[in-house]
Every structure is written in C-alpha cells, then in structure tokens.
Amino acid sequence: MWAVLHLKAVLKGVGSGLHLKDAPKVTPSSTGIKKQDKAPKDGDKRRSHGAIDDVASTITFDGLTMIRKNFYIPNEVLIIASKRSDRVHAPPPGFIAVYEMTLRAGLRFPPAPELLEIFKACGVSLPQFLCRAITIIFGLTVFFQERGATLTVEYLSEICKFTNDIYGRVSCRNNKKWLDFSMHDPSKNWSSSFFFVKNEWGLPEKWGRLKELLDFPNIGE
C-alpha cells in the first residue's frame, strides 16, 4: 500500500546513474485538483465545496498517541488533535498543520536543517505540498545525505520546478531529462488525516503564496 519513490539522477559531485530504491515511503498520491492556475494572494483564497482542505480531521486523541509512537515524535514536541471545526489551512496560532502522510513520507521532528531552509524559501505552509511534491523533497534529501551532500535550495531549484493551483496546493515536476521520478500509491482519504504541531522552527503556519525559488542554471550541468 505504501509507495516507493524511485530516483534516477546524474548530479555533479553527487553521483551518476544512481537508482534509489530505499527512499521514504508514503501514502498516498493526491487527486482531486487538476486545473492549474495562478494562486490567489494571501487571505484571498478562492474556495469551493469540494476543496480537499475543507474537511475535518479524523485523527482522534488515541490516534495521535499512536502517531507519536510510530513516528518517534519526541515528548518535548507538542502535538494536539484538531477540533471538528478546525481545518488544515487554518491551524491554531503558534501551530503548524501536519498530514499523517507527510510523516510517512519521511518527516521527523525536529525537521532537518535543509528541510527548514527549503520550506521557508518556498513561503508556504507544510500541508500545501501535495503528496508527490513532499515525497520528492524527502526522497532527494535522503539521496543527498547518503552521498555526503546536502540538498540546498539552490540544488532543489535546479532539479525541480514547483507550481501551485488555484487553491494554493503545491506540485512538483522535474527540470532535467536525466532525472526520473516515478511513484504509485493507491491509498485514499489522506486529506482528512492531519493534526497540529507546536511551531518551534519559524515555519509558515497559514496558507500562503508560493515564492519563486532562485534559478541557478549552472548547477548539475
């Protein structure tokens, strides 16, 4: 049921002809929003009855206890279950919303420094990244770490192109022909499995507008 992200890459100073089979696993791939358009400005989101972020979480207090255990969340990291009226795009002040699928993709607390740099550079909240995009980010992080390198914003901006739809959801496509992403996950209902984490890292909390990452055309050439 879990997807495996396969990466084939030729990165200058990192490796060549590499096929990563042990990348983070995740459920599931996202569906439901197909139309691509310019994202609205902050606080001016266009919403619809079928928006995938307009659902209540199904994670209970007991479920949150299991999540802390299964994903090794330290006791000093404060996590809370949402209320029925809470939505993923509007967490309580001082908290970030986190999908369970983001943990399955490889996120751990506290987040790695390179991930914090990437998320802050993008300028959007963590749940705005669709399943495929977040899996690619974590997979590339592991890919670099296993080869003694660090996935910086500069490298990521050369490898991937991030775009957002009219709801602010962030997707990812690769910029290079020599890089191949393939993943499959049949699981469903990931959009209703979220909770809140105390934001100790200065990450964006509210729904925001995706920033354009810097372009460094010489990297990886």
pTM of the model: 0.71
pLDDT cut 90: percent of the chain above it: 41
- Please answer whether residues 158 and 198 qualify as being in contact, where contact means their C-beta atoms are separated by less than 8 angstroms: no
pLDDT in tens, 108-148: 999 999 999 999 999 999 999 988 888 889 989 998 999 99
pLDDT in tens, 33-44: 333 334 444 444
- Is residue 175 pLDDT above 80, yes or no? no
Quick one: pLDDT at residue 17?
32
- Closest by CA to 67, choosing from 83, 55, 79, is 79
- Closest by CA to 190, choosing from 106, 147, 130, 120, is 130
User: Cα(135)–Cα(131) distance, rounded to whole angstroms?
Assistant: 6
**pLDDT mean across residues, the chain:** 75
The pair of structure tokens assigned to 200 is 């100790």
Quick one: pLDDT at residue 196?
97
Quick one: pLDDT at residue 26?
37
Quick one: pLDDT at residue 171?
87
Cis before 110? omega within 30: yes
Q: Which amino acid is at 153?
A: V
Q: Give backbone dihedrals phi and psi of 98, rounded to 5 degrees, phi first.
A: -135, 125
Q: Is 148 left (phi over 0), alpha (psi -120 to 50) or beta?
A: left
